[in-house]
Amino acid sequence: MKSIFKRIMRPICYLCLAFCLCMNVAVSQETTTLSSAFAGQWPYHSSKAIAMDSQNRLIYLGDGDTINILDSELNFISSFVVTETSQIGGLFYSATDNLLYIACGTDGLKIYDITDPVNPLLVNSYLPDFESLYPDFRETLGVFIDGSKAYLPSGIDGMIILDITDKKNPSLLSQSTLYGSFYQLSYAMDIYVSGNFAFVADLYNGLHVVDVSDPKDPDYKTGIALAGATDIEVSGDYLYLATQGLGMVILNISTPEETSPISNFLAAGIATSVRVDGAFAFISYDSIGIQALDITNKLEPYHDPTWIYDTSGGSSLGLFHDENFIFCANDQFGLQKIDITDKSNMQPVASYNTPADAVALDVSGNYIYSVDNTVGNTPENEGLRIHQISTSNKVALFTYKGFCATPGTANDIQTDGDFAYVADGDQGLQIINISDKTSPEITGSYDTSGYACGIFLDANYAYVADGDQGISIFNITDTINPILTATIDTDGYARKIFVYEGYAYVAADDQGLIIINILNITSPVISGIYDTAGTASGVFVEGMYAYVADGEKGISIIDITDKANPILTGTFNTDGFAENISVSVNYVYVADGQNGLVTIDASIPSLPKSVSEWSYNSQGITTDVFSGYFTDDEEIFTFIADGGAGIIAINLSIEEVTDISDGSSGSSSGGCFIQMIK
């Protein structure tokens, strides 16, 4: 049994490329256009993959760069990292030889011997010689094993067939670009092989049927136009295809050359995976969870409105055919085991939460540092994670480097040189040496009297927003033994803090913004207060303004020229719950909870306005944002901590288009505008 990669966002880049290659654009004047696009993620939760070992009752869960091995009750057995440069796309477990085949995106195919699931052994790797027109998007998105052949759907590179007779030395038999009617592009997502035929799900063009009786020379037979094809399941003479636009389509493949759809089930949301168990099909969706479908009559599949398991969204499904359970990889909760005995009352009975819940982050140089605090009941998996960032052609790649567990509940982080400083809940301040990115370790700590929620560094001092105890100020000259310098009580619950030119600005929950004079570091004094309309959760200061993430009320912009009498200048009510905030020149970036990233133009502080083109509705719950990351080739990225969806990179594009009267495409340059906002 296998599960396949469900990548929804990145192929959109290819659509844009296609239009650029095939169309000329005429404009009437010079304009500046903005756009945002998903650029990368760790771990890529939508690529979660599941493979089932029915004989040993084991589950193999691909999550980001890691394979987790679990038993049927979702008890942890072992985990191992399989790729340092990419994300897991698909899995195939071969029971005959206890081998797990792993599609590792840009890292190719990995083969592991899991005879001993506690100590998996790498058998070999195979990196295809990709021939893509777009080399930055070379990737292996899935794998299907049929005897001595491995079939790899490889996105824009089509279908790759390998001879795996010698598992330690796979060899290439053929590499075929699939027919593409959409601007001559195809994008292979999933594959299933039966006898002499391969069935390939193509995100752009639908389903391909290919004769692979001669694997060195595959023969394209037919194509069925089904927009957004992503995942294949086969049972008997029928193929079940999950699609983005049509829900699930059932096709008769009894005569492969005459494959044709016989029915479809249309539902709200993007179908990501489909699995069949007897008379029922189960479909996972990116937003509405799982739906059950009676397929006794293939021509008229039936769905009762109560046959739904409503969760935050499913990305992959797996099942043992002799049990009334289904396993769902979920964007928020890792893996869930769901009792499907009563289709009208499907209930979770066990869960395994993967370590990916990013709540706060900081970026320094080519590294991103994130902390999480909600990885189930396993504190040993919670704390600081370090990734190296590399960017290419508007894409950000995350390479996992190291991890350090913290003893408390990690809520916020800032880095300075070789050290990271973490606000660690009831364990106060934790200081972590990050000089060796692969082996970060705690070198110093101080247990504050409150609940450490936020942290800010300024010169030799760390300022901790300490919940109901106000703020604590530490001298961190000695990173092994930080010294408490001062504390000051705030009437509100201190959540986040920002220090600027001798003053500390505290987001103090229902008390709003509190301004503290710290010119005398040992005797801080409250200078002024502005009680915002909402729940002050984050704060950023630039120039004469404090920008407050004000919970359910969006943002408040406050003139702090007179520290004793701060004045409300402007507000903007976002659709979510504004958790935190970052400012780059006149642009305000808001971590807006379930509403993702919201970008606001505050060039006129009294009239802030939405910049929808630079906003991004993410899968998770966005609690932190880092803006203003510029690359050498003047690409702009924003990073968000997106809860269960991990860390997400968003590319912010700027294009200046100049009118060309003859109708040919105009020149473009974002340089001047980029320099302006740097």
Q: What is the pLDDT of residues 244-281, one digit of tens each?
A: 878 899 999 999 999 999 998 987 678 889 999 999 99
DSSP 12-41: HHHHHHHHHHH-----SS-EEEEEEEEEEE
Q: Peptide bond before 566: cis, by omega within 30 degrees of 0?
A: no
Q: Is the pLDDT of residue 23 over 70?
A: no
Phi/psi of residue 155, each to 5°?
Answer: 55, -125
Exposure on the CB side of residue 523, measured as CA atoms within 13 A: 1
pLDDT at 138: 66
Q: Give the separation between CA 353 and CA 359, rounded to whole angstroms.
A: 15
**Strand, helix or coil at 662?**
coil
pLDDT tens-digit map of 308-319: 998 767 788 999
Contacts of 178 (CB under 8 A, 6+ apart): 158, 159, 186, 188, 200, 202, 205, 208, 210, 220
Beta strands (DSSP E) in 478-554 are 483-488, 496-500, 503-507, 513-517, 525-530, 538-542, 545-549
pLDDT band at 375 (very low <50, low <70, confident <90, very high): very low
Which residues, listed in sequence order, are joined to residue 171 by a DSSP beta bridge? 163
pLDDT band at 172 (very low <50, low <70, confident <90, very high): very high
**Residue labelled with tokens 């906002």:** 677
The Cα-based distances of 235 to 222, 259, 261, 618 in angstroms read: 21, 14, 15, 34
Q: Give the separation between CA 497 and CA 22, rounded to whole angstroms.
A: 50
**Strand, helix or coil at 675?**
helix
C-alpha gyration radius of the chain:
26
**Which of 184-193, 397-406, 411-420, 661-670 shows the lowest mean pLDDT across its residues?**
661-670
pLDDT at 410: 93
Classify residue 11 by its DSSP letter: H
Is the four-CA dihedral 67, 71, 74, 75 of positive or negative sign?
negative
Q: Give the separation between CA 524 and CA 323, rounded to whole angstroms.
A: 64
Contacts of 166 (CB under 8 A, 6+ apart): none
Q: Give the separation between CA 199 and CA 286, rounded to whole angstroms.
A: 24
- Judge: domain 54-352, CATH 3.40.50.300: no
Tell me the one-letter amino acid at 245.
G
pLDDT at 21: 38
pLDDT at 312: 64
Contact between 151 and 144 (Cβ < 8 Å): yes
Mean pLDDT of 486-511: 96
Instruction: Report angle CA 241, 250, 223 to the nearest 5 degrees.
Output: 65
pLDDT tens-digit map of 598-653: 999 999 999 999 999 999 988 778 999 999 888 776 788 999 998 877 888 998 88
Element (H, E) at 672: helix 671-677
Exposure on the CB side of residue 431, measured as CA atoms within 13 A: 24
SS3 content of the chain, % helix, strand, coil (to 5): 5, 50, 45
- Give the rounded distance of the alpha carbon of 159 from its chain centre: 26
**Strand, helix or coil at 329?**
strand
Which residues, listed in sequence order, are joined to residue 103 by a DSSP beta bridge? 90, 109
Q: Is the pLDDT of residue 350 over 60?
A: yes
**Strand, helix or coil at 379?**
helix
Exposure on the CB side of residue 590, measured as CA atoms within 13 A: 39
pLDDT band at 663 (very low <50, low <70, confident <90, very high): very low
**Residue labelled with tokens 């009239």:** 607
**Residue labelled with tokens 């594009």:** 653
360-677, CATH topology level:
Neuraminidase (2.120.10)
Mean pLDDT of 42-49: 63
pLDDT tens-digit map of 515-570: 999 999 999 999 999 999 999 999 999 999 999 999 999 999 999 999 999 999 99
pLDDT at 481: 97
pLDDT band at 575 (very low <50, low <70, confident <90, very high): very high
> 68-85: buried (b, 16+ CB within 10 Å) or exposed (e) per residue?
bbbebebeeeebeebbeb
pLDDT tens-digit map of 427-438: 999 999 999 999
Classify residue 107 by its DSSP letter: T
- Give the rounded distance of the alpha carbon of 140 from its chain centre: 18
Contact between 413 and 452 (Cβ < 8 Å): no
Report long-range pairs for 77-81 (Cβ below 8 Å, ≥24 apart). Answer: 77/117, 77/118, 78/117, 78/118, 78/119, 78/120, 80/112, 80/120, 81/400
**Residue labelled with tokens 């085949």:** 101
**Which of 20-34, 131-145, 296-310 shows the lowest mean pLDDT across its residues?**
20-34
The Cα-based distances of 404 to 76, 424, 427, 439 in angstroms read: 20, 13, 15, 7
pLDDT band at 182 (very low <50, low <70, confident <90, very high): low
Closest CA to 314 of 335, 331, 297, 334: 331
Give percent of the chain with pLDDT exceeding 70. 86
Q: Where are the domains of the chain?
A: 54-352, 360-677
**Residue labelled with tokens 């795996």:** 164
